[in-house]
Amino acid sequence: MAMDSADRIVVATDAEAVASVVRALGAEVVFTRPDHVSGTDRVAEVAVSKGFESYDVIVNVQGDEPFLPRTALTGAIARVAAGDDVGTAAAPLDPAEVDDPGRVKVVCDVNGRALYFSRSRIPHWRDIGTAPGGTWWQHLGLYAFRRPALERWTRLEPTALEVAERLEQLRALQHGFTIGVALLDEPAPAGIDTPDDLRRAERHWRDTQGATT
């Protein structure tokens, strides 16, 4: 994924094993506390630290989403630039995977703002034969934040829906944040949550490298 939309790119981690690999690639590393419960909390620690106070928009690209397309990043940033508190992205989901709890689904309003995220099938079509194409959207693992939104988000306590679904973005929704969702035209490569996902990712990496050499 191209990151040329960013003024500065850092890898935030509490693991020396990760940091050493990143340094070997010539990239910037910021060490964070080891007790963060989410990537948003980790990014917020970096955002308020010395040297990062001047950035108005902070983007969190999660490490378990290594193949996000450029359009996911630029779309999420565009949602924030247009006025949303938070920007993110979603891609069409194969109906065969809609009941997989590892594929987080999102439903949006007519203005492209998130109404709800769930690990369950949403929307639930009572008559599946009437479901139009592109009915289900898979949430992708990145967020663009306005600085005030990021700082406020991490000061809030987890909500009941967040705990129930184990989805931190529900905390923001329950507290009235606007989360704009850039809807992509094509499915995106899956993130890495399970050993099977890792094997698929490794195959995808090998195939991609082979195609570009």
* Separation of alpha carbons 71 and 91, rounded Å: 10
Return the top range by mean pLDDT from 97-111, 130-144, 184-198: 97-111
Do residues 162 and 41 touch, judged by C-beta distance below 8 A? no
Mean pLDDT within 139-149:
95
Reduced to 3 states (helix: H, G, I; strand: E, B; else coil), residue 72 is helix
Return the top range by mean pLDDT from 36-40, 47-51, 85-89, 140-144: 85-89
Q: Please state which of the ranges 23-27, 101-105, 159-163, 195-199 shows the lowest mean pLDDT.
A: 195-199
Predicted pLDDT of residue 38: 87
Give the model's confidence band at 133: pLDDT under 50 very low, under 70 low, under 90 confident, else very high. low
Choose between 72 and 65: higher pLDDT. Answer: 72
- Chain-wide mean pLDDT for the chain? 88
Choose between 164 and 37: higher pLDDT. Answer: 164
Give the model's confidence band at 129: pLDDT under 50 very low, under 70 low, under 90 confident, else very high. low
How do residues 148-191 score in pLDDT, each as one tens digit? 999 999 999 999 999 999 999 999 999 999 999 999 998 877 77
DSSP string, 13-57: ES-HHHHHHHHHTT-EEEE--TT-SSHHHHHHHHHTSTT-TT-SE
Give the model's confidence band at 134: pLDDT under 50 very low, under 70 low, under 90 confident, else very high. low
C-alpha 64: how far from chain center: 9
Structural domains in the chain plus CATH codes: 55-212 (3.90.550.10)
Query: Is residue 213 pLDDT above 60, yes or no?
Result: no
Mean pLDDT within 189-205:
79
Query: Is residue 2 pLDDT above 50, yes or no?
Result: no
Predicted pLDDT of residue 1: 44
What is the residue type of 12?
A: A
Choose between 191 and 118: higher pLDDT. Answer: 118
Q: What percentage of the chain reaches a pLDDT higher than 70? A: 92
Query: Is residue 36 pLDDT above 60, yes or no?
Result: yes
Q: Which of 130, 115, 117, 204 is nearest to 169 (CA)?
A: 117
